[in-house]
Chains A and B, each alone.
Chain A
Amino acid sequence: MPDDLNWAIGGEAGDGIDSTGKIFAQALSRAGRHVFTSKDFASRIRGGYTAYKVRTSVDRVESVVDRLDILIALTERTIHENEDELHDDSVIIYDAERTTMQDVEVPGDATALEVPLKRLAEDAGGAIMLNVVALGAACEVTNFPIENLDESLQKRFGDKGEAIVENNKQAARMGQEYVQEEFDYEFGYDLETTDEDYVLLNGDEAIGMGAIAAGCRFYAGYPITPATDVMEYLTGRIDQFGGKVVQAEDELSAINMALGAARAGARSMTATSGPGIDLMTETFGLVATSETPLVICDVMRSGPSTGMPTKQEQGDLNMTLYGGHGEIPRFVLAPTSISECFWKTVEAFNLAEKYQTPVFLVSDLAMAVTEQTFSPETFDMDEVEVDRGKVVDENDIDTWLDEKGRFQAHFPAADGVSPRAFPGTADGAHMTTGLEHDELGRRTEDTDVRVEQVDKRQRKVETAREQEEFDYREYGDPDADTLVISWGSNEGAMREGLEFLEEDGYDIRFISVPYIFPRPDLTEEVEAADDVIVVECNATGQFADVVEHDVLERVERINKYTGVRFKADELADEIKQTLAGDAGTTTEVEAE
């Protein structure tokens, strides 16, 4: 278990909590310490309670824990909100000269460290720097060399001028010196530094960076917590690589703009959260039937409806897996860590273009608001591969023209993937539509063509199962009798959880699944275990349902999708044939 320290700054929204916390997190990261941050926040701009928490260790940290060692409390409420996490060795730094903080009582035997933050900040050049004074005080308490703050103060305030930077450095030192001089305590904390070089980023930033690395050139979106950071990251940065971010009037528009850009040949994406996914669902089917490569990112938050916009939940699995009327071939990827947010985004773009179908990238609030340290090589850009699939140009388009010279954009190829001609390609002009269509993209209600096109689109999934690896990540003891399965961001907490369990004598095999569809078949793994537990952040166990579905002995199936209803005599025949074992597990009722 990592020898960790848990630190937090809390106050009201508008107090600069986030930026102060980030300065400390960055300083730790630059000093060669691992960092894992989290936020307590509400959907408001001013007031309330908000906190930025930092867990740090020289070893990797993958999760938050229920323990707080150092707390900078700008409000009394901050202390109450964290009462359960504080312990007898906790140190609470606060300004007892503030009228609202004069009667503060700290819980248990925790140390109350009264530092006149505001007065010291004014001495350093302005009351606005009181948070930085507190950072200085925290450095002293944790035996963390104050110089480590300087680089992140420069990064934060550099564009405001050298004088401001110097004032802040001074403010930090005044906080430090005050604690040194006024308190003769041995706090017992020691934040040692190392020579390691880390980068610090959150899940949304990792997705944005992954998109640029993968060659994404167009992003359309509508701001929504907690997905907005993807859009803000890309804005301005994607321009340097020839791309553009567009803020649409709503999510209906965003996904359709992204679809348009993809039709024009750009690698294109949109990102949103649950309420936006609801709106975008309207267009899922069009993306799939028009066979347009599109990456749709859902950074999940608590639902349903507006739910709890700033709280964690993995409640959209069914939505991304099944959302949209009719049957939609799709891929659903769920990165299991912040670094995987980057790599799964790259993979999402390749899958989208190779199979010309929507790819859902399902992340969540826990990863979106957490900043974590990684060695820069984790994001080795030389490892990024780009596969654009079956794009044809002027030179090879002839192969794909029919006898009348018309481009067959929905040619029913054996692998289910048709050729793709970007607009502007000579002789490639073709239409496509959300209506059922023939190989030329023209509407049809012909039952044979309908079945041919449905089968063609579904074949992409079969092809992908053959050609791609939809594997899981495994931790713990592979021979253990207890199997724990999770998907998405729970991986970090479970990995550290394994260490707690091991201490108490529990032997566990842990499987972390990043592919929701197509997904690894866990039948063997489930059957090999005595106890199987599926861990997920939702009330009904959506992934557990999926696992149970896969493990079930399959029922026989009779399906008909010609557009014509079942007929009594036909159905009776089909049942007889199925019982006679003439049909496979899936019986296609032939078109008449």
Chain B
Amino acid sequence: MSSDVRFTDFKSDKQPTWCPGCGDFGTMNGMMKALAETGNDPDNTFVVAGIGCSGKIGTYMHSYALHGVHGRALPVGIGVKMANPNLEVMVAGGDGDGYSIGAGHFIHAVRRNVDMSYVVMDNRIYGLTKGQASPTSREDFETGTTPDGPKQPPVNPKALALASGATFIAQSFSSNSQRHAEIVQQAIEHDGFGFVNVYSPCVTFNDVDTYDYFRDTIVDLDETDHDAGNRDQAKDKILESEKEYMGVLYQDEESVPFEKREGIEDSMAEIPDGAPEGAMDLVREFY
């Protein structure tokens, strides 16, 4: 890893096709800054992207990357990291990808606690299919497929994470570039699964959860006496429905990543030209 890596090194030469003003621009910039700030470079970084507007991020960033199947980005990231723990693995996706079709993988990835970061661009809407309710949409949010609202409460991903044994839960806001980059950086530096939900507003299809709404509502945890090491405090903040918070809600400093617990130390890429030494013992076991 070279020390002179700049965040623009993580930018590809492909121009984003996100709508002007999309929250994803800020989200991606913060991710690139955080990667550079933590001493990574494109050749040791693996980005896994989901499907949706957010999933396009793999194309706009420069690193090793895979843009996969809808909802399955986390398992891919887990496989990459376990096969080569020397890589910096970052998974990015949206609220539909992570909390709807991929919700099962989300809670299990949280439980597994592999050392990687997961950045969810939460705009509370399906943008790429032109504006349908997402799992984080409000109960009365009117869309083409839910004319009277989804009539079901939004999922609380941070509560899901906490209940699943998360070791790092943070909330960020794409418009606050400085804080957003810091929070993602903390997620990268965390020894385990660093989960960051990012409010990343959709300026085209969501006229409720807007930049203005988040700016007016969000409270920076750094300006409160919140103790991120205290699970009960985290729980109270996460379950509070009236307020939005920004910052690290919970972090278990004692976290030991899954791959370390499994004793994986090196890349699995190198193998001998033939059967490994001692392979004949496997045959003898069947005597």
Q: A121-141 interface mask toward B, CB cutoff 8 Å, 1 = contact, 0 = none? A: 000000000000000000000
Tell whether, in the assembled complex, residue B66 and residue A424 are in contact, meaning their CB atoms are under 8 Å apart: no
Does A102 interact with chain B (Cβ within 8 Å)? no
- CB within 8 Å of B: which A396-449 residues: 404, 422-435, 441-443
Tell whether, in the assembled complex, residue B76 and residue A376 are in contact, meaning their CB atoms are under 8 Å apart: no
> Residue of A at shortest CB range from B42?
A429
Tell whether, in the assembled complex, residue A435 and residue B76 are in contact, meaning their CB atoms are under 8 Å apart: no
> Which of A243-251, A520-528, A573-581 is found at the contact surface with chain B?
A243-251
- CB within 8 Å of B: which A251-288 residues: 252-254, 256-268, 282-283, 286
Tell whether, in the assembled complex, residue B79 and residue A220 are in contact, meaning their CB atoms are under 8 Å apart: yes
Tell whether, in the assembled complex, residue B83 and residue A268 are in contact, meaning their CB atoms are under 8 Å apart: yes
Residues of B within 8 A of A108 (CB): none
Task: Specify which of A201, A429, A433 lies most central, judged by the most chain B CB atoms within 10 Å of its CB.
Answer: A429
B side interface size, CB within 8 A: 60
Residues of A within 8 A of B58 (CB): 431, 433
Tell whether, in the assembled complex, residue B263 and residue A217 are in contact, meaning their CB atoms are under 8 Å apart: no
Residues of B within 8 A of A220 (CB): 75, 79
Also in contact, A217 and B72, with CB within 8 A (given A264-B79, A424-B86): no
The prevalent SS among residues of B at the interface is mixed
Alpha-carbon separation in the docked complex, A205 to B286 (Å) = 10
Task: Select A265's contact among B67, B68, B269, beta carbons within 8 Å.
Answer: B269
> Which of B180-188, B240-248, B273-281 is found at the contact surface with chain A?
B273-281
Closest approach, in angstroms, between the C-beta of B44 and any C-beta of chain A? Answer: 6
Does B237 interact with chain A (Cβ within 8 Å)? no
Tell whether, in the assembled complex, residue A257 and residue B264 are in contact, meaning their CB atoms are under 8 Å apart: no
Residues of B within 8 A of A424 (CB): 43-44, 84, 86-87, 267
Tell whether, in the assembled complex, residue B275 and residue A382 are in contact, meaning their CB atoms are under 8 Å apart: yes
Residues of A within 8 A of B12 (CB): 431, 442
Does B272 interact with chain A (Cβ within 8 Å)? yes
- CB within 8 Å of B: which A9-59 residues: 29-30
Tell whether, in the assembled complex, residue B279 and residue A286 are in contact, meaning their CB atoms are under 8 Å apart: no
Residues of A within 8 A of B45 (CB): 429
Task: Specify which of B13, B45, B68, B264 lies most central, judged by the most chain A CB atoms within 10 Å of its CB.
Answer: B68
Closest approach, in angstroms, between the C-beta of B43 and any C-beta of chain A? Answer: 5
Does B161 interact with chain A (Cβ within 8 Å)? no
Tell whether, in the assembled complex, residue B278 and residue A240 are in contact, meaning their CB atoms are under 8 Å apart: yes
Alpha-carbon separation in the docked complex, A347 to B87 (Å) = 29
14 contacts between A and B (CB under 8 A): A197-B287, A218-B268, A252-B71, A256-B75, A257-B75, A258-B79, A265-B83, A283-B72, A381-B274, A386-B274, A429-B45, A429-B63, A433-B59, A443-B67
Which are the 4 A-B pairs with shortest beta-carbon distances? A260-B79, A265-B269, A215-B271, A199-B286
Known: A217-B271, A268-B83, A426-B43. 15 other contacts (CB 8 A): A217-B268, A218-B268, A243-B268, A252-B71, A259-B68, A260-B48, A261-B83, A263-B76, A264-B87, A267-B271, A422-B267, A429-B63, A431-B66, A431-B67, A443-B59
Q: What residues of chain A have their CB less than 8 Å away from a CB belonging to chain B?
A: 29-30, 197-201, 205, 209, 212-215, 217-218, 220, 237, 239-244, 246, 248-250, 252-254, 256-268, 282-283, 286, 290, 376, 379, 381-382, 384-386, 388, 404, 422-435, 441-443
Q: What residues of chain B have their CB less than 8 Å away from a CB belonging to chain A?
A: 12-14, 42-48, 58-59, 61-69, 71-72, 74-84, 86-87, 104-105, 108, 262-264, 266-269, 271-276, 278-280, 282-284, 286-287
